Amino acid sequence: MSPSSTSHVAVIGGGPAGLMAAEVLSQAGIRVDLYDAMPSVGRKFLLAGVGGMNITHSEAYPAFLAHYAERAPYIAPLLREFGAEALCQWIHDLGIETFVGSSGRVFPTDMKAAPLLRAWLKRLRDTGVVIHTRHRWLGWDADGSLRIQHAEGESAIQADGVLLALGGGSWARLGSDGAWLPLLEQRGVQVAPLQPSNCGFEVSAWSELLRSKFAGAPLKNVAIGLGDDVPRLGECVITASGIEGSLIYALSAPIRDAINQHGQATIHIDLLPSKPQDKVLAALAKPRGSRSMAKHLQSQLGIEGVKAALLRELTPAATFNDPALLAAAIKALPLTLVKTRPLDEAISSAGGVPFEALDEGLMLQQLPGVFCAGEMLDWEAPTGGYLLTACFASGRRAGLGMLQWLRHRP
């Protein structure tokens, strides 16, 4: 039994998850109206593609899944249905070729998001999806109709099913403003507060010297660890208030959780990850004669610029008189972080609708016929293609879940 061809559903949100759900539904013959509050759809998707559209990652499935941490058991079924390989094939079917970069990340050949989005929107319109921009969802009327605000006022929309793909709480100017949380809470849905993910962090205060000379400076070829975890290799950036960048984003969830629990988190920075501590000590122990310590560090270990400044900032002056202590500091320089940067600056967010509130088809147990997908679900992942892959996969699962529900609804 298939859904009636007269079935009509509303998809709220025009990011990757909402568009993917609309595709699944429209290809099954369902009439789909998609509503987005912004002047055009896919705005965060397009901005994420500036500088190179990292669509997914090529690493093996077990390692790929591990990036979703404690939410991996909930994300796994979605990725088994529509993981990285399936996503790449889907992109190829749109006429867009991909390649794997040196880091294992997967990109469209032209590195751009716009051609992919244009091809996708054409296919959606060809299957009958009607896209309404500048239409903001305001919740439900007393009779269950959707309240949709637009330039002419407000409309009450009746739909056989509703699929919410409203994003998280980061980058509000692109539409992900988290305004949907109270709308669901008013209907009895328990939601987790939104928190920054893939974000920068603040220190209590940098010295004026460090802030004025090195804010914005990249910290390259370092390793950073938190607690007993193996340090990760990569790079990050010193900011006027703290630290950010890809290496910090990869650790943002445990750093944020430690701050939530203890009020602060101390990371350890290995300034020379390719050089063992005994080799560092041996270099430091060499006579420096009349040379300054700064010159000694530069000539023996190549430590200069922002690395040298950070070492001075975070190390007691007496340590520079003890080669063993200085070598230990160079290999594990402690930096205490006290809070995240604001949510709206974050690349993504954690929190939202917990998987426990949904059935296997991503329908809200509290609201039959209402499905959720994308970043509004309570999961997080680092950058590198993991965020987008799970958004696509959850949109597809929610679309299929709605089809199943439409087949069997009373």
According to the model, what pLDDT value does residue 4 have?
A: 55
Number of H helices, E strands in the chain: 15, 20
pTM over 0.95: no
Tokens 């944020």, located at residue: 256
CA distances from 192 to 176, 252, 262, 312, 378 (A): 16, 18, 20, 41, 7
Residues with Cβ within 8 Å of residue 290, at least 6 apart in sequence: none
In angstroms, rounded to a whole number, what is the distance separating the alpha carbons of residues 215 and 204?
Answer: 15
CA atoms within 13 A on the CB side of 208: 0
> Does residue 351 contact residue 194 with C-beta atoms inside 8 Å?
yes
In angstroms, rounded to a whole number, what is the distance separating the alpha carbons of residues 276 and 288?
Answer: 21
In angstroms, rounded to a whole number, what is the distance separating the alpha carbons of residues 203 and 336?
Answer: 6
According to the model, what pLDDT value does residue 80 have?
A: 96
Give the strand pairing for 242-244 and 232-238.
antiparallel
Kindly report the CA angle at 135 between 129 and 140, in degrees rounded to 5?
100
Structure tokens at 34: 């998609």
Give the pLDDT confidence of 96-127 residue by residue, as tens digits.
999 999 889 999 999 999 999 999 999 999 99
DSSP string, 51-120: T----EE-S-HHHHHHTTGGGHHHHHHHHHHS-HHHHHHHHHHTT--EEE-TTSEEEETT--SHHHHHHH
According to the model, what pLDDT value does residue 1 have?
A: 39
Tokens 């041996």, located at residue: 282
- Extents of the domains making up the chain: 8-197+344-408, 201-340
Each residue's pLDDT expressed in tens, for the chain with a length of 410 residues: 355 557 999 999 999 999 999 999 999 999 999 999 999 999 999 988 777 889 999 999 999 999 999 999 999 999 999 999 999 999 999 999 999 998 899 999 999 999 999 999 999 999 999 999 999 999 999 999 999 999 999 999 999 999 999 999 988 888 889 999 999 999 999 999 999 999 999 999 999 999 999 999 999 999 999 988 889 999 999 999 999 999 999 999 999 999 999 999 999 999 999 999 999 999 999 998 888 999 999 999 999 999 999 999 999 999 999 999 999 999 999 999 999 999 999 999 999 999 999 999 999 999 999 999 999 999 999 989 999 999 999 999 999 999 999 998 86
Structure tokens at 325: 């202590």
Describe the crossing of helices 323-331 and 277-284 by its angle, rounded to 10 degrees: 140
CA atoms within 13 A on the CB side of 49: 22
Q: How many CB atoms lie within 10 A of CB 375?
A: 32
Residues with Cβ within 8 Å of residue 102, at least 6 apart in sequence: none
The CATH fold assigned to 8-197+344-408 is FAD/NAD(P)-binding domain (3.50.50)
Residues with Cβ within 8 Å of residue 195, at least 6 apart in sequence: 256, 340, 343, 349, 350, 351
Among 17, 43, 11, smallest CA distance to 30 is for: 11
CB neighbour class for 128 (10 Å; exposed up to 12, middle 13-18, buried from 19)? middle
CB neighbour class for 286 (10 Å; exposed up to 12, middle 13-18, buried from 19)? exposed
Helix (H, G, I), strand (E, B) or coil at 146: strand
